[in-house]
Amino acid sequence: MFGFEFAHKKKHHDFPQYDMSKAVKPEHISLISPLVWQEHCVECAMPDCYRTCEHYKRRSDGRCRLFKYGIERFENKESILNQNVVIDMDEWAKLETFFYTSGMTYPEVDKVNKRVVELGNAAQTLKAGKLRRFIYYIKEYYTRKIGDRNSDIPHFFLCEIINEEIPYVINLENRADNETVYRNSLKVKKGFNRFLIPTSEFNFVYGCRNNLLMYPEGNEQQLINFVSLELVSFKPEYMDLYLLKSDKKVKCVVWDLDNTVWDGTLGEDGIDGIKVKREIIEIIKNLDSKGIINSISSKNYEDKAIEALRKFGIYDYFVYPMINWGIKSQNIRSIVKTLDIGMDTFVFVDDSFFELNEVKENCPGIRVCNVNDMMEFVKDKIFDVPVTEESKRRRESYKEIANRNRAAEEHPGNIIEFLRSCQMEARVNKPSESELMRCYELLQRTNQLNISGERLSIDEIIEIADSSDYECFRIKVKDRFGDYGLVGFAAFDISNQEKVVLRHFVFSCRAARKRIEQNFFAYMINQYEQKGFKNLELICKVTEKNSLMRQVLEESELFEKTEEFSKKYKLIHSMDKEVSVENIVRILEE
């Protein structure tokens, strides 16, 4: 939904014609949030800025007009909530909404939208801008009270745009109490565009005011034709129409227990009445040997289930098991959050079609498999992962991660204080011959923290490591909870005497979001400055999955963007610039 109280009565644009079959159908939506998108400024410091800002253009209520003609609404009976909108953004304009609203059924939100449209139409007939503003506040209060009924935020952020001009970029952020907790760049090509982002990626912070905001990259003027801009969940039977099946390698398999890991029901048959499935145990052990994590989401009494797992000698194979009477999808989301790896790298195995569908609907991106099909499914290439010494101890590493996350939740101070209390050490050195295979594994598996996006072969990695034009480093990390092992690889091109270029950098998600990357960059900048280099450069490739990498680079404040290419951009650190990062990690050269 949109607020259009301050749109011009006369339309200044026409909404482009497009193929309606490409857009999400209203009847395919199960839940939708009553959001209201409004006109705001990127650098807003109202009202003081009105007297000093050269971009200030007075709106009828005295506030600044950032959209040239407001939000222009076009009725379309086939679209979501029966509307498309055109927004002609001026410089420094942004579109913003409160990201607090729960999901409601489509008919419920359709009724809310009609009330909002009525209020907007009434406001447009008023000459006094302050009265229009009053109606805006009424509408905002109305939708907020409705949206606060529960915490069931829909699964996806849906944005559909028609672009008839040259491609452009829109930045999307979530800010929790004004702190950016999520950022992404949406590349809008010519024609019809759909962006479907799981809301779980937005890092929603409960207890804070979360604001979603969108603005053109570079704060430039931009005409945007929105087909839809909503938070939605899809009906299960339509999810496959809009979700691409993930081909990412599996990192974790979550198992049910009754009639899945063993035959029988523990609560009814007792420990002596159930029989473990040997073929399933072999799969679990094989996955573990390859570094694929096993976990549990099972409706059972925890103490009895653990006793059975110990009796069969398999309890230690599982990381962060969730055994309770809760909803399985909620348990899996808890596992995903704790292990800090993507939902699209998970597989859930169960014997119940009901449970499989409940998880598939409420855990977007997860792959599900009936236990009877698991013997064949495990042969799929998504389970074909490189095996190294590091992968063989991955289970213990993830158990350490679970302990760290529990400690972080219980720590009384802020995140910086907690990270310092972890006593982290990063040991850097040229990778040995035996370590190159782990570096190869990182380049094959890592998506979120990967600047080049390239999947180098083992021969290419060996060639770079042996070349006099490169300096390569592996990064090992440990803290007071345990040893992460080898979690990072960097390759610096030193062939130019004036500048050093970071060609490849990958970092495991297991150690991400702990300021290790920023501390490593700062350390290497200081090292190369001492060697006489004037600049450190890197080319960051923009992929669908490495928004975290781009966020890390931006938040480090070590680099300046100098050039942008198609799906790539160049960052430079000049050695005459002061290096200032939180000193959280002790960097050691071995």
- Residue-wise pLDDT for 228-240, tens only, equals 998 888 887 787 7
- Token pair belonging to 185: 């760049």
- Beta carbons of 442 and 493 less than 8 angstroms apart: no
Q: How many CB atoms lie within 10 A of CB 246?
A: 16
Position 571 scores a pLDDT of: 85
Position 120 scores a pLDDT of: 65
Position 150 scores a pLDDT of: 46
- Tens digits of residue pLDDT in 97-119: 876 567 777 787 777 777 766 76
Query: What contacts 164, CB < 8 A, 6 or more positions away?
Result: 16, 190, 225
How far apart CA 355 and CA 353 sit, in angstroms, is 6
Q: What is the mean pLDDT of residues 355-369?
A: 85
Position 457 scores a pLDDT of: 87
How far apart CA 502 and CA 491 sit, in angstroms, is 6
Q: Domain extents for the chain?
A: 25-241, 257-383, 408-589
How far apart CA 86 and CA 79 sit, in angstroms, is 14
The pLDDT-based confidence of 179 (bands split at 50, 70, 90) is: confident
3-state helix, strand, coil in the chain (%, to 5): 35, 30, 35
Q: Is the pLDDT of residue 149 over 60?
A: no
The pLDDT-based confidence of 51 (bands split at 50, 70, 90) is: low
Q: Is the pLDDT of residue 190 over 70?
A: yes
Question: 86 forms bridges with which residues in the sheet?
Answer: 72, 225
Q: What is the mean pLDDT of residues 264-290?
A: 91
Please tell me the least confidently modeled range out of 58-67, 73-82, 123-132, 544-553: 123-132
- Tens digits of residue pLDDT in 392-434: 677 887 887 777 776 766 666 667 777 888 888 999 999 998 8
Strands (E), 279-335: 293-299, 322-324
Q: What is the mean pLDDT of residues 281-301?
A: 92
The pLDDT-based confidence of 146 (bands split at 50, 70, 90) is: low
Mean pLDDT, the chain, whole residue set: 82
Query: What contacts 19, CB < 8 A, 6 or more positions away?
Result: 192
Helix axes 106-124, 129-147, angle to 10 degrees: 170
Q: Is the pLDDT of residue 364 over 70?
A: yes
- Tens digits of residue pLDDT in 13-46: 888 888 888 888 989 988 888 778 887 777 665 5
Strand order in the sheet with 179-188: 38-41, 93-98, 210-216, 168-176, 179-188
Helix axes 436-445, 458-466, angle to 10 degrees: 130
**Looking at domain 25-241, does it have CATH number 1.10.3470?**
no
Position 422 scores a pLDDT of: 80
Position 484 scores a pLDDT of: 81
> Alpha helix (H) ranges present in 184-245?
239-242
Q: What is the mean pLDDT of residues 435-439?
A: 88
How far apart CA 546 and CA 182 sit, in angstroms, is 12
- What percent of the chain is modeled with pLDDT above 90? 25
Q: What is the mean pLDDT of residues 537-542?
A: 85
How far apart CA 354 and CA 259 sit, in angstroms, is 14
Strands (E), 270-423: 275-276, 293-299, 322-324, 346-350, 367-370
- CATH superfamily for 257-383 is HAD superfamily/HAD-like (3.40.50.1000)
Q: Is the pLDDT of residue 562 over 90?
A: no
From 139, 535, 512, 119, select the one nearest 340 (Cα to Cα). 512
The pLDDT-based confidence of 493 (bands split at 50, 70, 90) is: very high
Q: How many CB atoms lie within 10 A of CB 277?
A: 18
With H, G, I as helix, E, B as strand and everything else as coil, classify residue 161: strand
- Token pair belonging to 260: 């899945």
- Token pair belonging to 587: 């960097």
With H, G, I as helix, E, B as strand and everything else as coil, classify residue 511: helix
Position 510 scores a pLDDT of: 72
- Tens digits of residue pLDDT in 292-346: 999 999 999 899 999 999 999 999 999 999 999 888 998 999 898 888 788 888 9
CA 57 to chain centre: 36
Q: What is the CATH number of domain 408-589?
A: 3.40.630.30
Position 430 scores a pLDDT of: 93
Q: What is the mean pLDDT of residues 182-199?
A: 88
